[in-house]
């Protein structure tokens, strides 16, 4: 980018607001101001670079005070953040993107698709009444949320892309600061995504796009250069639909657009560390990790042709090959990595019963690089016990009975509960 006149302590465009009082301003005397046309060019180059990294949408929002901040405070006060203590721990930083990057002027918000095809079907055994609906059918298969199907943790695959983009921004705008984030920083990504024109926040709280549905991740880059902003997505396209609110198996929506995370299956199976409260266990059904119900019922995700998606994960390796590959892998290439369930498992499912056969070491080898590693063995066996307790049959009892003697109190309690549920159904 052609150099323009240096303006100490400012990377703003002419005519833009001075930094707010008390805000740390990036005091880099070598900083270059950019003209309007340079800023437009820079924005366009960033957009192109983002698309070539595989992001399917890229919008730009101004770094402004968070409109949702007062509601975030109410949300936490109401207990809806459950045990996600990081919200209150860094509350002040959510007020303004400067809490994430001092001197932030613009946010580049991007969408990255994940697998959106329908899960394969599993053989569902019929019960003694000839009933083959998914409840109480002695199945051992648990469902996993689509975002995990890629096999690798999305933070690990998206971070390097953000790093490359930040480096590119540094080349295009020398002296600027940029910080890439996905999930971990105190920023409400859906709020800024709406501001950057990527879509609207649906009644299920997720960011929806008319062309893409909602099966995509969001990622942001904050920069201390003022870039021309896109128009916010001002309208909601939910209309009178309430499908997500009606379908949620644990009634986790307090009202349209407000989620009580303490009831959400995604929270309970991924973020929650202890035993799952008993009243919520039946609602978990066969969800082993995460939950997609409020997205699956959404009309904006219904038409497969309209969904953004990645190509299906390949399942061309035996389970032992996969474990060897995972053990030897130093530089995972997400697009070619197989899913982390057995290659014989239908896409989107994991055999909950088989998880009880894994030693700590097997567990590590199989899940170390996957999003499921987050729960460690404790959480996965707890979740597996919930699934078997809800849908399992007599074949699950020996494994559950031995797991009820597990050294981990969460695993043992969950397994005892599951075996009681099954026995009650016999």
**Interface residue list for ligand B12 (CB under 6 A):** 68, 71-72, 74-75, 84, 145, 147, 182-183, 187-191, 204-207, 214, 216-218, 257-259, 261, 264, 266-267, 271, 290-292, 294
Binding residues among 44-103 for ligand SF4 as defined by CB under 6 A: none
| Choices 53-61, 258-266, 323-331, 361-369; region in contact with ligand SF4 by CB under 6 A | 258-266
SS (H, E, C) 7-54: CCCCCCCCCCCCCCCCCCCCCCCCCECCCHHHHHHHHHHHHHHHHHCC
Q: Between 14 and 70, whose beta carbon lies closer to ligand B12?
A: 70
By three-state DSSP, how is residue 380 classified? helix
Interface mask toward ligand SF4 for 208-227; x: CB under 6 A: x-------------------
Q: Which does 243 bind (CB under 5 to 8 A by kind): ligand B12, ligand SF4, none?
A: ligand SF4
**Quick check: 145 and 266 in contact, CB under 8 A?**
yes
Residue 277 CA to residue 291 CA, distance in Å, equals: 17
Q: Which residue in the set 60, 107, 108, 298 belongs to the binding site for ligand SF4 (CB under 6 A)? A: 298
| 204 near ligand SF4, rule: CB under 6 A | yes
| Residue 137: alpha-carbon gap to chain centroid | 30
Q: Which residue in the set 108, 112, 297, 411 belongs to the binding site for ligand SF4 (CB under 6 A)? A: 297
Q: Between 190 and 339, whose beta carbon lies closer to ligand B12?
A: 190
Residue 314 CA to residue 54 CA, distance in Å, equals: 19
| 341 near ligand SF4, rule: CB under 6 A | no
Which residues are CB-contacts of 154 (< 8 A; sequence separation ≥ 6)?
112, 114, 147, 182, 217, 371
**Quick check: 105 and 63 in contact, CB under 8 A?**
yes
Residue with the two structure tokens 């899940």: 367
Residue with the two structure tokens 């042709």: 305
Which residues are part of the catalytic machinery?
183
| 280 near ligand SF4, rule: CB under 6 A | no
Residues near ligand SF4 (CB under 6 A) are 202-204, 208, 238, 241-244, 248-250, 252, 259, 264-266, 291, 293-294, 297-300
């Amino acid at each position: 980018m052609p150099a323009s006149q240096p303006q100490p302590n400012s990377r703003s465009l002419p005519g833009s607001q001075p930094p707010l009082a008390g805000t740390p301003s990036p005091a880099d005397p070598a900083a270059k101001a950019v003209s309007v046309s340079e800023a437009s060019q820079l924005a366009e180059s960033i957009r192109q670079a983002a698309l070539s990294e595989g992001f399917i949408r890229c919008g730009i929002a101004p770094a402004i005070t968070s409109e949702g901040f007062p509601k975030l405070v109410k949300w936490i006060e109401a207990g809806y953040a459950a045990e996600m203590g990081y919200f209150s721990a860094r509350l002040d930083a959510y007020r303004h993107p400067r809490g994430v990057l001092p001197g932030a002027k613009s946010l580049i918000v991007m969408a990255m698709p994940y697998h959106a095809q329908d899960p394969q079907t599993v053989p569902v055994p019929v019960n003694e009444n000839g009933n083959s609906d998914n409840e109480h059918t002695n199945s051992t298969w648990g469902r996993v949320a689509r975002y995990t199907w890629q096999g690798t943790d999305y933070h690990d695959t998206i971070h390097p892309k953000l790093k490359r983009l930040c480096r590119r921004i540094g080349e295009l705008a020398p002296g600027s600061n940029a910080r890439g984030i996905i999930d971990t920083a105190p920023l409400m990504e859906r709020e800024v995504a709406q501001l950057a024109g990527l879509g609207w926040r649906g009644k299920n709280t997720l960011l929806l796009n008319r062309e893409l549905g909602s099966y995509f991740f969001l990622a942001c880059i904050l920069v201390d250069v003022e870039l021309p902003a896109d128009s916010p997505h001002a309208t909601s396209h939910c209309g009178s639909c309430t499908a997500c609110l009606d379908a949620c198996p644990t009634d986790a929506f307090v009202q349209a657009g407000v989620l009580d995370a303490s009831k959400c299956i995604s929270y309970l199976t991924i973020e929650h560390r202890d035993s799952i409260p008993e009243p919520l266990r039946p609602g978990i059904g066969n969800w082993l990790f995460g939950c997609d119900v409020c997205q699956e019922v959404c009309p904006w995700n219904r038409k497969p042709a309209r969904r953004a998606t990645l190509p299906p994960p390949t399942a061309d390796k035996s389970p032992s090959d996969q474990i060897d590959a995972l053990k030897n892998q130093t530089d995972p290439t997400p697009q070619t990595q197989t899913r982390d369930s057995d290659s014989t498992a239908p896409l989107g499912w994991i055999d909950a019963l088989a998880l009880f056969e894994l030693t700590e070491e097997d567990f590590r080898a199989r899940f170390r690089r996957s999003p499921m590693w987050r729960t460690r063995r404790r959480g996965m066996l707890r979740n597996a016990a919930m699934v078997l307790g809800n849908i399992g049959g007599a074949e699950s009892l020996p494994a559950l009975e031995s797991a009820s003697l597990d050294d981990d109190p969460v695993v043992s309690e969950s397994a005892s509960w599951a075996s009681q549920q099954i026995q009650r159904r016999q």
